[in-house]
Structure 1
């Protein structure tokens, strides 16, 4: 038996990992103690996990992220070793394969798992933002009947067309009806974990109204008007932006190519070359390579800007 406590602890963690019944348990056994000491370096990821509403503990997710990254390194190393042994490669190239590829695979897995919660949080945030004005109008209409706030959220959770708002309402309802929490606690917990600040403000406002005994109908009517006004302003800005993109597209990807093809056609009749290329070859490259390529780039640009 080793007299070094650190080595004993490390061996014990490895045994626990092999005896674990799930990847999460194995990951926690291997990397959990290190995360307990260095978790502060992943505070931004912890916030993303809360906003993404992922059903996983912070410690477990980081452990699995490191576990999969280490597994990717091992798999990349074994694959590179098989390739090096089967091919006649030099020393430098063999080392590049044996260490470069495993490191790249490990880094790619780590990066994908690190960014996934933030991407999911942004998707939830966008869904809540797009449905907020309409959901608030619905809540305001429900409030006119005078039913309790907890029942308001229960009714709202039945409408799937409100996307992220329906999911948030369902979480509040589950906390109250299933877990037995009081409404104020449920509202506060859901508001703290929401990726959308406007929705959080609404929940805190409802919480304040419930505690002070204010008019729920007046509060929701005001919030619904504000949200609808902001929604209309954002849509107008998006239309103006898309109009600008359309003008650029017309000028650069419609008018300019037509003008260029016309000029090249006339030059082709006259003969000659441009920078050592035949006019016919330049026309072929422009029509079959340049113009389709620019259109693809523009479509990708629109996808990033609009979505």
Structure 2
């Protein structure tokens, strides 16, 4: 199946394919990128993307070596900076390490984008289903439902998925079952796949999509409420943990260390370490953890 978006082959991509295409086809497992690229809606073939990755890695490594590492290795001794052989070797190897990091980052970018899309779809699917169920109950045909849903930016990636379903029906002449099956194949969200698979079964068995969407909307809203309840319970547990780890515990340590410092006549080094290092780290950790866990309401 081809990607559902317009071709993203820039001149740089095309030159990358000309330079590295044969190597990619022979040596790199670029086939593994097909599904992530499709799910991420990146609109580029796996072979072209792998060539693009290699071109970027080569450019960065060469520039880093000739303009940073090599001048540093040559000029530092001339300037009188004492550099050990180990540090010198590390400077020269740095371009390879940077190239490896860039390769890993770019290679896994499609997977990361696909996971991000899946998360957005899962978050907004309950609310989008309410919209779909309301339109279906009003007697709107499936093609018009997906067209209308695609115009609702509030539903994020669900709206994008609806747009491609509508394009398959309206522009490519696919029937509703084929369009839904294609959308299911390319969607990164397991929940959305299950929804579309159920819709296909309903249509092919002569069922009523209005009833199906209404039941699915109720089910997903119930699951969404359960997720929010679980989150509230977790927040309660984290609040208790915060009081112990970031309030009572450090306060007890501060009092004990202050008394010990007064009795022994020592300096306030340990106390300053707790106040200016330990407490900020604990608080930042809790804030970042809570922000990562907050679901979209």
TM range (shorter): 0.7 to 0.9
Partner Cα separation in structure 2 for residue 21 and residue 151 of structure 1:
34
Among 122, 134, 137, the residue aligned to 2:127: 134
1:114 to 107, 119, 124: 107
| 1:85 lines up with 2:74 in the alignment | yes
Contact 2:61–2:99 under 8 Å retained in 1: yes
Q: Which has the larger radius of gyration?
A: 1
1:97 matched to 2:91? The reply is yes
Give the structure-2-normalised TM-score: 0.86
How far, CA to CA, are the matches of 2:10 and 2:32 in structure 1?
A: 30
Aligned residue for 1:54, secondary structure, equals coil
Partner of 1:17: none
Q: In structure 2, what is the equivalent of residue 160 of structure 1?
A: 153
Deviation at 1:42, TM superposition (A): 4.2
Query: Cα RMSD (Å) of the superposition?
Result: 2.2
Structure 1 distance, partners of 2:13, 2:173, is: 29
Partner of residue 203 from structure 1, selected from 179, 196, 202: 196
Give the equivalent residue in structure 2 for 1:256: 249
- 1:181 equivalenced with 2:174 (yes/no): yes
Instruction: Pick from 215, 219, 224 the counterpart of residue 222 of structure 1.
Output: 215
Matched-pair contact (CA < 8 Å) for 2:30–2:47: no
2:22 is aligned with 1:29: no
- Which residue in the other structure is 1:62 paired with? 50
Number of aligned residues: 281
Tell me if the contact between 2:34 and 2:46 (Cα under 8 Å) persists in the aligned partners.
yes
Q: Distance in 2 between matches of 1:59 and 1:156?
A: 33
* Structure 2 unaligned residues grouped into runs of 5+: 1-8, 78-82
Q: Secondary structure at the match of 2:113?
A: helix
- Distance (whole Å) between structure 1 residues aligned to residue 291 and residue 105 of structure 2: 20
2:120–2:157: 8 Å Cα contact kept in structure 1? yes
Q: Cα distance, 1:287 vs. partner?
A: 0.9
Cα drift, residue 252 of structure 1: 0.5
TM-score (norm 1): 0.84
SS of the equivalent of 1:219 reads helix
Per-residue CA shift, 1:232-251, capped at 9, x if unaligned?
22222222222222211110
2:165 counterpart of 1:172: yes
